[in-house]
Amino acid sequence: MSLSHVSSGKVRDVYDLGDDTLLMITSDRISAFDVVMAEPIPDKGRVLTAITAFWLDRLDSVVPNHLVGLDPPATAIEELGADLVGRTMVVRKAQMLPIEGIVRGYLSGSAWAEYRTSGTMHGERLPTGLRQSDQLPEPVFTPSTKATVGHDLNISVEEAGALVGPEVIKAAQEISVDAYRRGAEWAAERGIIIADTKFELGFIDGELAICDEVLTPDSSRFWPADEWRPGSAPPSFDKQPLRDWLEATGWDKTPPPPALPADVVDATRARYVAAYERLSGANLTEWPGVVQ
Ligand SMILES: Nc1ncnc2c1ncn2[C@@H]1O[C@H](COP(=O)(O)OP(=O)(O)O)[C@@H](O)[C@H]1O
Ligand SMILES: [Mg+2]
């Protein structure tokens, strides 16, 4: 069998296994300020895979998902090499919704920018007097379009309903908010605030399921709980050493990015590993393919 390549995004390479399943390979690529760095972060793809697998296992009884298994087919290892081990998911092919199911528990990023100018979030009015990074009274489902070029557009639930149908958006909202609530509560008990996150949902056998990566530092804002100060932007649990170093170089944030020194790569790797180990209580050295 020869693998058929479907797509390569910023982080994942997707192959069609030909039997209604896909092979998703999570690379060690990392982006900052929307630019992919030249140097990989060793094991980052394994950490993202491990975190997704951890959450899908915890959420399994509550929400349908796309995961079939973690072991790559032997033919894939033959074709692509043993570095595949620990960074693959075999998933059911889904009919993806053309929206991102964002859930926000805290006021940050583009939502904070909108609130500061208009008092709204994705067009919906919020209480007055909220500060940057404040916790919202309730987690809010704030979908966005999936832009093929340029940036995703924040839209209201009604606008998302016009795209996919009001019943579908209601189901997507329920699944997303439920998964976020459970994940954020679990993480908070372990010192990590999941400020917001992005789910990708799709239909499998006529049922709406969680696809893609789930509640990872790449699809979410992870903050160290002990450094959260409303009124300012908390450091990123995972990318702060990288962002700080990049800022300090005076780089203009257009490609090519500067070459990362080994200590920045190491510090970033350590943050990703810590996120997995704190959330799961497991040791990354026990994960397939991890050598150090
Ligand atoms: N079960 C699935 N079926 C079909 N497509 C999926 C499934 N799970 C995830 N995807 C898609 O696979 C791609 C993953 O690649 P990724 O590198 O994360 O892309 P991006 O840079 O767009 O985030 C995304 O386009 C995502 O929507
Ligand atoms: Mg993605």
pLDDT in tens, 271-290: 999 999 999 999 999 999 99
Choosing from 96, 201, 208, 214 the residue with most ligand 1 atoms within 8 A of its CB, the one to mutate for a pocket test is 96
Pocket of ligand 1 (CB under 6 A): 9-12, 14, 22, 66, 91-94, 96, 200, 202, 211-212
CB-count exposure of residue 213 (10 Å: 0-12, 13-18, 19+): buried
Q: How confident is the model at residue 292 (pLDDT cuts 50, 70, 90)?
A: low
Terminus-to-terminus CA distance in the chain, angstroms?
33
| Ligand 1 atom with minimal separation from the 94 CA | 3
Q: How does pLDDT run across 34-88, given as a tens digit for each residue?
A: 999 999 999 999 999 999 999 999 999 999 999 999 999 999 999 999 999 999 9
Residue 113 structure tokens: 């920018």
Cα–Cα nearest to 224, from 256, 193, 203: 193
Nearest listed ligand to the Cα of residue 94:
1
Which residues, 6+ apart, have CB-to-CB distance to 212 below 8 Å?
66, 199, 200, 219
CA atoms of 290 and 87, how far apart (whole Å): 10
Which residues, 6+ apart, have CB-to-CB distance to 23 below 8 Å?
3, 14, 15, 16, 17, 72, 73, 76, 88, 89, 90
- Ligand 2 centre and the CA of 213: distance in Å? 7
Strand, helix or coil for residue 41: coil
Answer yes or no: is pLDDT of 1 > 60. Answer: no
Are 102 and 80 in contact by the 8 Å Cβ rule? The answer is no
* 155, amino acid identity: I
pTM of the model: 0.97
Q: How confident is the model at residue 184 (pLDDT cuts 50, 70, 90)?
A: very high
Q: Is the peptide bond before 256 cis (omega within 30 degrees of 0)?
A: yes
- Ligand 1 centre and the CA of 212: distance in Å? 5
Helix axis angle for 166-188 and 157-164, nearest 10°, is 130
**What distance lies between CA 286 and its chain's CA centroid?**
23
CA dihedral 218, 219, 221, 226 (to 10 degrees): -70
Residue 29 structure tokens: 């690529």
Nearest listed ligand to the Cα of residue 152:
1
pLDDT at 10: 87
pLDDT at 203: 98
Strand, helix or coil for residue 87: coil
User: Cα Rg for the chain, rounded, in angstroms?
Assistant: 19
Strand, helix or coil for residue 183: helix
Cα–Cα nearest to 68, from 88, 51, 95: 88
Q: How does pLDDT run across 148-170, given as a tens digit for each residue?
A: 777 889 999 999 999 999 999 99
